[in-house]
Structure 1
Amino acid sequence: MSSEAIVQAQNIQDEVQQEMEQGEDTVYGDTADSRRIGFNRKQDINKNSGTDRPDAPMTVSKRSREYNMRHEFRGRTVIFKYSEFRYGGPPGRECAEHDTDITEEAFKILGFGVTVYSNLKKRDFIGALRQCAAKDHEECDALVIVFMSHGFDKNGKEYLNLYDDDIETSELWKEFTPDKCPGLAGKPKLFFIQACRGENTDKGVNLKARKGMSVMTDAMSAAADVQEDYAIPLHADMLMMWASYPGMFAFKSSNNGIGGSVFIHFLAKVLREDHQYDDLATMLLTVTREVAVQYESYCPGSDKLNHNKQIPYTVSTLMRKMFFKTK
């Protein structure tokens, strides 16, 4: 090895050693200037030092396992209901009124104040979201958005139908990140979407019981509480739950006491019946299981739509358990 190469290698080794002493993480193969929190970093990682990170009030301690649900108010539930569309648009939704009624009832039982918007045009829909984000949420536990309409996928993206137009599904939660809505920072923001996600169907699989099968249960652990400033990602504390798996139909039914959208039926039922002893995650697992196991489509006039299964789909960045204890 030449003397020049030896010097260059020594310089690289010195730089790596310096980074290790400072506790700085590196991202190899990435041209971005990534500042990640290292385990050995000596300075306070939660200080705003030189960044443009916004501040927001802390509502729950850093290591708490439960969200703070002891504010003065439970919070707002906003329901966007679509039962009709402009001429030439998607077909009307006769189940919309029933779905709205049982959803409103369920969230009122949980202690939320409920606002219902019907058949909004795109401009008014965006305005309603921004108006909700601009409200004072400081004394609220959480926010819930429920959207009921048609939906579809196109070129790898998902869209929801409004009265006169469509929007990308992600528009539902863009206004509620902590930088835009600091009053909800560190608080759960829940989005429930009753809409098709495509035109595919799921015929399912039969599970056959075998001898010697056992049943297992899980136990919850107690919460810890430590007061310490800390930073969170902008997209933390959100949960999005769709009626169906990506690309799949979301069914409605008039059988077995459902009387509307299958997902909304079981969501409202479980929230009403289980909120006094189960946390949110457990209840949503129950919803997923009930839809998947209890429902099978009955459309004898269509081979494609008959005898299909449906399963809700959840994406969550919630960091804690969420209980709806009586205030």
Structure 2
Amino acid sequence: MAFLVAGTLQVASQMADARQSLERKGKYGLQGPRVALTLSSSGVLASTVAVLEDVLRTLGFESCQKREASVQVFYRTTKESEASYCPVLRSSLRGALCLGDVEPWEPQPEPSPSAQYDLSGTRAALLLSVIHGRPGAQHDVEALGGLCQALNFKTTLRTDPTAQASILSPLQAFQEEMAQFRERLDARRVPVSCALVALMAHGGPQGQLLGADGQEIQPEALVEELSRCRALWGCPKIFLLQACRGGQRDAGVGPTALPWFRRWLQASPTTPSHADVLQIYADAQGRSSGGPTPGSSDQADILMVYAAAEGCVAYRDDEKGSDFIQTLVEVLRADPKGELLELLTEVNRRVCELEVLGPDGQKRRKACLEIRSSLRRRLCLQAQLRPLPPRGC
């Protein structure tokens, strides 16, 4: 019997000054009490819940409340039970989170080769960007294109794609470009080790990508297209989405736990209300129409990075480009050998610190990334290549 475990850990950023919510740069301070709540349905084995509670107590959670709730339970069919599943992680954390006693900044032993993706093969990137009607988008294209070149990606760039036939809408062209990208990878005679796809366009209220003609497409359809690429089986597939996911403009949350006189004397920066959340789906999350099950083996090795939280606006400056893409390029250029998930957490920290003066008036707004990962190994984009065997005479 399969069941859904959605563990949500939210560091109480509303209870402290945003500048002090991370004890030191890039690390959460967890000196205060830790509390946990376990919700389970009647179909979940009591022994499973007991094991989870033991783990939480070992990690220092003082209060571990347990309640029964009408949590939906997913059952695998016979065919599904023969397939493998992988966890899916969703994160908006702004720093390293260490629940144990190990300090994350201490030197760590080198990971074994099997724990890291081998990127010795060809790396391919596809940059799809709508420039028309999106001032500043060209800066993102130039910055991201330069980064891909520095990281040895063979890059295909399409701006304002109209595909080959005029009868196709811009977003049908997105689908066509992705299909051609997949076909080119499958036709390669040399191994492919990694693919990066950047989708930069206007976004709809439900997270759709919007064209100038108002037509829409779900980004997940493009992810599914690339998931069918035989050349990328077992290889990391990175998706960067610079687009709005709705119309909400986050004003952020303030330092409510500070004494009143400190709040009056200093205007501390606010924290995005969607920040500091970690969700781990240990099994299937439910089925999309006609698509593969999120968390199943055919959805492994995928990393998706959204420029905005679900339902929120993604900001872009007419003269500088978007906060997400520009910060991403800055962080990766500064530490190209770093582990990508750790670097993305640093990108999110910097984006969360920004205060944007949105087009809706003089009020400052906040933004927060969402990182979804089903990666099974460490991913370092400037990893050492495996040495080639010596040539014969």
TM-score category, normalised to shorter length: 0.5 to 0.7
Is residue 82 of structure 1 aligned with residue 82 of structure 2?
A: no
Is residue 259 of structure 1 aligned with residue 259 of structure 2?
A: no
SS in 2 for 1:135: helix
SS in 2 for 1:270: helix
**Structure 2 contact 135–317 (Cα < 8 Å) conserved:** no
Q: Can you list the C-alpha shifts for 1:249-278, whole angstroms capped at 9, x where unaligned?
A: 111236xxx8111111101111111113x1
How far apart are residue 135 of structure 1 and its match? Answer: 1.7
How far apart are residue 127 of structure 1 and its match? Answer: 1.5
Determine the structure 1 residue equivalent to 2:43: none
1: CA distance between counterparts of 2:327 and 2:74? 47
How far apart are residue 279 of structure 1 and its match? Answer: 1.0
Letter paired with 2:211: L
Determine the structure 1 residue equivalent to 2:311: 247
The structure with the larger Rg is 1
> Which runs of structure 2 are paired with 1:1-327 in the superposition (5 Å)?
30=75, 32-33=77-78, 35-36=80-81, 64-71=114-121, 73=122, 75-84=123-132, 92-120=133-161, 121-136=170-185, 138-154=190-206, 158-164=207-213, 165-177=215-227, 180-207=228-255, 233-253=297-317, 259-276=320-337, 278-293=338-353, 295-299=354-358, 302-303=361-362, 306-323=363-380, 324-325=382-383, 327=385
Letter paired with 2:153: F
Q: Can you list the C-alpha shifts for 1:217-271, whole angstroms capped at 9, x where unaligned?
A: xxxxxxxxxxxxxxx81000001110010000111236xxx81111111011111
Greater relative contact order (Cα < 8 A, sep 6+): 2
Letter paired with 1:174: E
**Structure 1 contact 122–163 (Cα < 8 Å) conserved:** no
Letter paired with 2:343: M
Q: Can you list the C-alpha shifts for 1:181-233, whole angstroms capped at 9, x where unaligned?
A: 111000000000000111111111234789xxxxxxxxxxxxxxxxxxxxx81
1: CA distance between counterparts of 2:222 and 2:357? 32
Letter paired with 2:376: M
Change (3 A) 1:35 1:242: closer
2: CA distance between counterparts of 1:36 and 1:300? 50
**Structure 2 contact 209–216 (Cα < 8 Å) conserved:** yes
Gaps of 5+ in 2: 1-72, 85-111, 162-169, 260-295, 386-393
How far apart are residue 139 of structure 1 and its match? Answer: 1.7
2: CA distance between counterparts of 1:133 and 1:271? 26
Change (3 A) 1:33 1:243: same
Gaps of 5+ in 1: 1-27, 39-44, 46-61, 85-91, 211-231
How far apart are residue 31 of structure 1 and its match? Answer: 8.2
How far apart are residue 140 of structure 1 and its match? Answer: 2.1
How far apart are residue 173 of structure 1 and its match? Answer: 0.7
1: CA distance between counterparts of 2:239 and 2:220? 10
TM-score normalised to structure 2 length? 0.55
**Structure 2 contact 129–201 (Cα < 8 Å) conserved:** yes
1: CA distance between counterparts of 2:229 and 2:142? 28
2: CA distance between counterparts of 1:150 and 1:114? 22
Change (3 A) 1:300 1:128: closer
Change (3 A) 1:299 1:162: closer
TM-score normalised to structure 1 length? 0.66
**Structure 2 contact 358–365 (Cα < 8 Å) conserved:** no
How far apart are residue 29 of structure 1 and its match? Answer: 8.2
How far apart are residue 32 of structure 1 and its match? Answer: 3.7
Q: Which has the higher strand share?
A: 2
Q: What is the number of residues matched between the two proteins?
A: 236
1: CA distance between counterparts of 2:184 and 2:251? 44
Q: Can you list the C-alpha shifts for 1:104-145, whole angstroms capped at 9, x where unaligned?
A: 111111111111101122333222111111123552220000
